[in-house]
């Protein structure tokens, strides 16, 4: 436990990026008693990259984890340090333009390194593993969580950070008089792999392809597909995600008994991009054993809180990865909640209005990020109704499209939440 003088008992269910980041910040405040419950036997992330926009990097710094992040994160070297992605035609790698985020550019990290860096700083006794929450109820101003092992835990406040398949989301929605929400398949699948950057460099040299395409994060665009590359592990690995979309159905379905992530073959991946150019072909030929991810998101929820229970991260607003923003939104949730809960005004009596302020401030922005993430995929894949395959329009649209997302001021969010609570 954080402190023997704790006054407010908070449970966090789910030890992904959002849950661990929140736990780490809350643990620093002696009036809070934090317990984190994770279903798996240990913290774990997939072996892939994750990139953070300028807004997410500010949330990381605000959560007090800026230094460990800096130690493991990749930045593109000068003179391209401000570029998020360069945009290129998939067929011939022709340059279409770039998106620039001054001061941050592309900030990326290996997922497992990031979660490790967070988890290592959690004081002992905060995290409990092999604890899968299955049921929640509220009795006499307390929340009771039941786990599959038959145990239960009582607290003043429960924050569910249990991901897109959240088991606690339905409790909140039911409380709001809304039917359960299940993740929806987007029709898009992503081939993922990591390439040793020296291997890719040698392959590009042999094929006479410009190594600039390795040095600067790239996004290759085409009809119903796009491919991104950025470095992780201080440039030793190149993270590759190759998206293909089937837009033949307005309501695509992923077979119920099929896992969302599975192994696939290089031949299958190469076939999906067979009409694309050499830069893409050589890139994909360096991934002998890709995985295939069926991408799901959530519809926009009518609310993130009910009673003494709140949702953060993908449990609240899982989105498509096309703006590289999902984890960053979870970090913004964690930052705002942590700032509110750290305030000395907080007692077991006022956590409901506090959650209400969190919901009112965070939900409109997270919903907009969900919506624009879906739309970004259509834009990249030449299916935007206005831009279509007009390269000039594509280039000017992409140059400024993300500014509102990256330039958001989370301090204004906090001021608005505090004002709603009457904490001036």
Active-site annotation holds for 192: yes
User: Does residue 228 bind ligand FAD (CB under 6 A)?
Assistant: no
CA atoms within 13 A on the CB side of 398: 33
- Separation between Cα atoms, residue 388 and residue 331, nearest integer Å: 33
H/E element, 310: strand 309-311
Per-residue binder mask for ligand FAD (CB under 6 A), 309-348, x = binder:
----xx------x--xxxxx-x------------------
Q: Which residues of 386-395 are buried (b: 16+ CB within 10 A; e: fewer)?
A: ebeeeeeebb
Give the N- to C-terminal CA distance of the chain in Å, as an integer. 31
**Of 54, 241, 361, 369, which one interacts with ligand FAD (CB under 6 A)?**
241
Structure tokens at 239: 């993270």
Closest CA to 303 of 162, 172, 135: 172
Stretch of 2-10, 13-21, 97-105, 336-344 lying at the interface with ligand FAD (CB under 6 A): 13-21
- Separation between Cα atoms, residue 182 and residue 166, nearest integer Å: 9
Per-residue binder mask for ligand FAD (CB under 6 A), 104-143, x = binder:
---------------------------xxx----------
User: Does residue 40 bind ligand FAD (CB under 6 A)?
Assistant: yes
User: Does residue 23 bind ligand FAD (CB under 6 A)?
Assistant: no
Q: Contacts with ligand FAD: how many residues (CB under 6 A)?
A: 34
CA atoms within 13 A on the CB side of 360: 14
Query: Peptide bond preceding 332: is omega within 30 degrees of 0, i.e. cis?
Result: no
CA distances from 219 to 229, 239, 275 (A): 7, 12, 17
CB of 330 to ligand FAD, least distance (A): 4
**Of 8, 11, 13, 214, which one interacts with ligand FAD (CB under 6 A)?**
13
Kindly name the residue from 192, 308, 339, 365 that is annotated as catalytic. 192
User: Does residue 38 bind ligand FAD (CB under 6 A)?
Assistant: yes
326-341 and 410-420 helices, crossing angle to 10°: 40
User: Does residue 225 bind ligand FAD (CB under 6 A)?
Assistant: no
Of 144-203, which residues contact ligand FAD (CB under 6 A)?
161-163, 167, 190
Residue numbers of the site for ligand FAD (CB under 6 A)?
13-19, 37-40, 50-52, 131-133, 161-163, 167, 190, 241, 293, 295, 313-314, 321, 324-328, 330
Q: Which residues are designated catalytic? A: 192
């Amino acid at each position: 436990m954080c402190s023997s003088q704790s006054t407010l008992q908070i449970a966090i269910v789910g030890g992904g990026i959002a849950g661990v980041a929140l736990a780490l910040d809350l643990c620093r405040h002696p009036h809070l008693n934090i317990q984190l419950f994770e279903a798996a036997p240990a913290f774990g992330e997939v072996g892939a990259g994750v990139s953070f926009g300028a807004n997410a990097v500010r949330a990381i710094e605000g959560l007090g984890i800026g230094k460990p992040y800096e130690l493991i994160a990749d930045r593109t070297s000068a003179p391209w340090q401000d570029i998020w992605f360069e945009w290129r035609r998939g067929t011939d790698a022709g340059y279409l333009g770039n998106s620039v985020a001054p001061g941050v550019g592309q900030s990326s990290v290996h997922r497992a390194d990031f979660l490790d860096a967070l988890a290592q700083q959690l004081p002992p006794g905060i995290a409990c593993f092999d604890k899968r929450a299955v049921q929640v109820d509220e009795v006499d101003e307390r929340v009771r969580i039941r786990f599959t092992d038959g145990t239960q835990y009582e607290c003043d406040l429960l924050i569910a950070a249990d991901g897109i398949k959240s088991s606690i989301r339905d409790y909140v929605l039911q409380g709001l008089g809304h039917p359960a929400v299940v993740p929806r398949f987007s029709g898009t699948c992503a081939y993922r792999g990591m390439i040793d950057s020296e291997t890719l460099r040698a392959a590009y040299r042999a094929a006479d392809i410009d190594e600039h395409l390795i040095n600067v994060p790239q996004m290759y665009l085409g009809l119903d597909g796009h491919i991104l590359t950025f470095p992780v592990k201080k440039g030793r690995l190149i993270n590759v995600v190759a998206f293909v979309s089937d837009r033949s159905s307005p309501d695509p379905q992923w077979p119920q008994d099929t896992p969302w992530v599975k192994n696939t073959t290089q031949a299958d991946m190469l076939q999906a991009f067979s009409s694309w150019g050499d830069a893409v072909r050589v890139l994909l030929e360096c991934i002998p054993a890709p995985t295939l991810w069926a991408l799901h998101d959530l519809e926009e929820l009518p609310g993130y809180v009910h009673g003494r229970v709140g949702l953060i991260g993908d449990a609240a607003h899982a989105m498509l990865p096309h703006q590289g923003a999902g984890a960053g939104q979870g970090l913004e949730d964690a930052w705002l909640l942590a700032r509110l809960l750290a305030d000395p005004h907080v007692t077991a009596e006022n956590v409901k209005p506090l959650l209400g302020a969190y919901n009112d401030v965070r939900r409109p922005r997270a919903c907009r990020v969900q919506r624009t993430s879906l739309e970004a995929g259509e834009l990249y894949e030449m299916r935007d109704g206005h831009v279509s395959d007009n390269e000039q329009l594509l280039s000017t649209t992409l140059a400024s499209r993300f500014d509102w997302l990256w330039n958001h001021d989370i301090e204004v969010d906090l001021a608005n939440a505090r004002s709603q609570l009457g904490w001036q």
